[in-house]
A and B are shown apart, each in its own frame.
Chain A
């Protein structure tokens, strides 16, 4: 696989660099474009229409890229792009807007479509829309396909509007799926957390989807107030920094960022579902050990897959990692890049991370998802 990385501060310069690259005898088949929501996205998608290759993109909370020529970079309010030339027959794209409350059906439709494209698909999916129900959408995907990865778009922590796009469409609330043919592309996922539960374990006694009403039969808001003394003004930032650690009935641990508190009914709104009966604790970052944790998560998976040398690395760290690590954030990305055997890397800080290979819970918060791809020879 060949690749070309482009970092740009304007749409015009991005388009110009892509044009120049194509002229210089590089023929990409696929492009990843991640950028700040501050750019004119209508203008961008209009410009992208002319390209004959597949384009997938999303707005972010920070753009990430790395390769041997440019080194490792974490950018704010910029545009990052990577062009690659995977065999065209190995992937296929579908992008669609969601209608109200039909996120599960959208997932189901995407999964069924992917099964018509390939016998054994693995799905790279990007989603947009703050009200988009990622969990129901993924549940729909998992009815047909178990291997999933991707993220939900961000908007520089403004929490207003997030977008995904292809060279055909710009979508404010919906999903795109880039289905890969696993018979031709070898893909591995890893996920690391860097957060850890603290204090006493409690039980969610009443919840509906992503709204938790009571924990240990007391208003859920009391649980957060006792630990953090939060007010509405502290949300969602405080809730993102101190998410709920959730132990699912299958013993899987996931994290859920609190994004809104309802003083009237004492409920908490989370960035993903929290099932009734789940055992929960409040959690906090584990200091600079976050970096080791992420490195370890990648190494563990790569070690299991002997002799695997990735050609391309996609990463989707949660925006909370960027906020917590601050200036040290670059060290985390460097560690991920080195652990991924210094293969060309592109990614972005996201509002939700998606990764599962076996049908277990795939939608995450506070998580660092790393995906490696290589064409089978």
Chain B
């Protein structure tokens, strides 16, 4: 090639190199732009999703307050004289409000799960007893034609689990099984408990001979808002249960055939306690004599901005604890009242106009270090608890406030004041003892209160059906009472209820009459 041609060729190559360079730079810039666009759009979508979650959390929080008032007032209404028809309406109202409340709790759980804000609160627990208790809680919901087989062997050691969350999973699965099984059996078995170092791998099965899950639903079973129950189910329970199992290092798997039944296997991990199981037989019946507590003397200030809640709490303290409480509409009024009056305990709302609960507490702490301040909030995020604690609040009570939670707090104050704690009611002692192995005191009292409400309604119904000689009505009520008494661990009374139920089934009114007086009078001692 000639030198001139070579020079020309070099120039051509230089020119195409330059053009390739420009093209490369342009493509590179475009690449960055596209990735930037992808990142921004994805971020916006993530934010939109977060907003949706925040909206759900905020709405469920806002809805809980008025619903608390509905439930609380219906509790108060149940304390008054009502005829059978009114009681029936009240029971419907309660059922719907409770359903709504559990739906809100589920929604709040979902938003917390999505934000990874649920933290497991593990405690040393009798895992076998906890599981058996789940079965007992659901027993009354199971159709009469269905046999419940509980196969949970006694364990010789404790395990660290989050009782509330374990219960949530199994009560949900057992309730589903009860709902979808009209005949045959429901089996609840501890399939495997296997130790890996300090950890236990636990597999529990809930198996039923119910209607089964259609193939098209099976794939999306653990997604939120997918329910096989088109009438009542929210479709959140399985999703939450599976997420909780995942949080516990496990999962839920399902096998099901339409018309044959379903089997849910829950796998979760927990730590084995080094503590040996205590000798149950020597402790079971050791019950100390206690007296009924009297809270009448306590001076209480409730700080709450919503009038409906304020009035409800005022009424609740009056009816259940015989306490005339003082109230304040916001933190500023509360600070003034604490300056000028003596109180034994203060229940403080978090979010209020003018001066919120946290700031009011900070102000109170500048001149009063001793007054117990209990934070009331429907926000159960740990950040809120932390904020309340930092401000100087002593304790935390979750809205909606219930009888047991309040009593628990009052008890703490009175124990501090009197340093004594006694309970004389024998049946309550037994029930408390029965629950204390599984739950903390507040939860136990809550269950006892729920059982008490159920028993009161059942007794009233039994008395009317007895007058009407309505044998079918009596059979239903004895069945209900058997379940409640068994849940309370009052096995002898539960057996009597079962015998009465059998008499009713055989239309043996004579034998019912022989036993009913003594049975009812014994059950009524629960309320003394």
Contacts and interface: CB of A to CB of B under 8 A. Distances in A.
Contacts of B250: 277
Interface string B27-49: 01000111111110011000000
A327 B27 CA distance: 12
A286 interface: yes
Given A196-B42, A251-B116, A277-B251, A287 B246 contact: no
Contact of B36 (A203, A251, A286): A286
B249 interface: yes
Interface in B36-64: 36-39, 42-43
Contact of B28 (A197, A199, A249, A327): A327
B464 to A, nearest CB: 54
A287 B32 contact: yes
Interface in A157-215: 196-199, 203, 205
Contacts of A199: 42
Do most interface residues of chain B lie in helix, strand or loop, or is the interface mixed? helix
Contacts of A326: 28
Q: How large is the interface on A (under 10, 10 to 19, 20 to 34, 35 or more residues)?
A: 10 to 19
A284 B38 contact: yes
Given A196-B42, A199-B42, A328-B28, A289 B251 contact: no
Interface in B92-112: none
B246 A288 contact: no
B28 A284 contact: no
Nearest to A249: B249
A285 interface: yes
Contact of B33 (A251, A287, A328): A287
Q: Which 9 A-B pairs have the closest CB atoms?
A: A287-B36, A287-B35, A286-B39, A198-B42, A287-B32, A288-B32, A285-B35, A196-B39, A326-B28
Contacts of A198: 38-39, 42
A66 B32 CA distance: 26
A284 B36 CA distance: 10
Interface residues of B, number: 17
A289 B33 CA distance: 10
A372 B250 CA distance: 40
Contacts of A203: 246
Given A196-B42, A199-B42, A251-B116, A286 B35 contact: yes
Interface of B: 28, 32-39, 42-43, 116, 246-247, 249-251
Interface string A308-342: 00000000000000000011100000000000000
Nearest to A285: B35
B265 to A, nearest CB: 14
B292 to A, nearest CB: 47
A249 B33 CA distance: 33
A199 B36 CA distance: 15
Contacts of A327: 28
Contact of A289 (B34, B36, B249): B36
Interface in A231-276: 249, 251
A284 B249 contact: no
B460 to A, nearest CB: 50
B496 to A, nearest CB: 49
Give the dominant DSSP class at A's interface.
mixed
Determine which residue in B33, B42, B43 has the highest number of CB atoms from chain A within 10 A of its CB, and name it.
Answer: B42
A284 B35 contact: yes
Contacts of B42: 196-199
B28 A287 contact: no
15 contacts: A196-B39, A197-B42, A198-B38, A198-B42, A277-B250, A285-B35, A286-B35, A286-B39, A287-B33, A287-B35, A287-B38, A288-B32, A288-B36, A326-B28, A328-B28
Contacts of B33: 287
B199 to A, nearest CB: 13
Contacts of B247: 249
Contacts of B32: 287-288, 328
A316 to B, nearest CB: 23
A238 B247 CA distance: 32
Contacts of B116: 251
B72 to A, nearest CB: 37
Contacts of A251: 116
Of B36, B39, B43, the most chain A CB neighbours within 10 A belong to B39
Nearest to A203: B246
B368 to A, nearest CB: 38
Contacts of B34: 287
A198 B246 CA distance: 22
Contacts of A285: 35
A196 B44 CA distance: 13
Contacts of B249: 249, 277
Nearest to B246: A277
Contacts of B39: 196, 198, 284, 286-287, 289
B506 to A, nearest CB: 52
Nearest to B37: A287
Q: Max chain B CB contacts within 10 Å: which of A249, A284, A287, A327? A: A287
Nearest to B41: A198
A288 B40 CA distance: 12
A266 B116 CA distance: 30
B251 to A, nearest CB: 7
A203 B252 CA distance: 13
Contacts of B38: 198, 284, 287
A196 B39 CA distance: 7
Nearest to B114: A201
Contacts of A288: 32, 36
Contacts of A328: 28, 32
A199 B42 CA distance: 7
Interface centre among B35, B36, B37, B250 (most CB of A within 10 A): B35
Nearest to A201: B114
A197 B45 CA distance: 12
A289 B36 CA distance: 8
A286 B34 CA distance: 9
Given A288-B32, A327-B28, 11 more contacts: A196-B42, A197-B42, A198-B39, A284-B35, A286-B35, A286-B39, A287-B33, A287-B35, A287-B36, A287-B38, A326-B28
B218 to A, nearest CB: 11
A127 B507 CA distance: 83
A249 B246 CA distance: 9
Nearest to B35: A287
A205 B250 CA distance: 10
A12 to B, nearest CB: 33
Contacts of A286: 35-36, 39
A322 B39 CA distance: 19
A197 B42 CA distance: 8
Contacts of A284: 35, 38-39
Nearest to B116: A251
A263 B125 CA distance: 47
A35 B241 CA distance: 53
Interface string A270-299: 000000010000001111110000000000
Nearest to B247: A249
B442 to A, nearest CB: 29
Contacts of B37: 287
B286 to A, nearest CB: 41
A295 B216 CA distance: 49
Contacts of A196: 39, 42-43
Contacts of B251: 205, 277
A292 B292 CA distance: 67
Interface string A77-112: 000000000000000000000000000000000000
A110 B42 CA distance: 43
Contacts of A205: 251
B118 to A, nearest CB: 12
B400 to A, nearest CB: 30
A305 B37 CA distance: 35
A326 B35 CA distance: 14
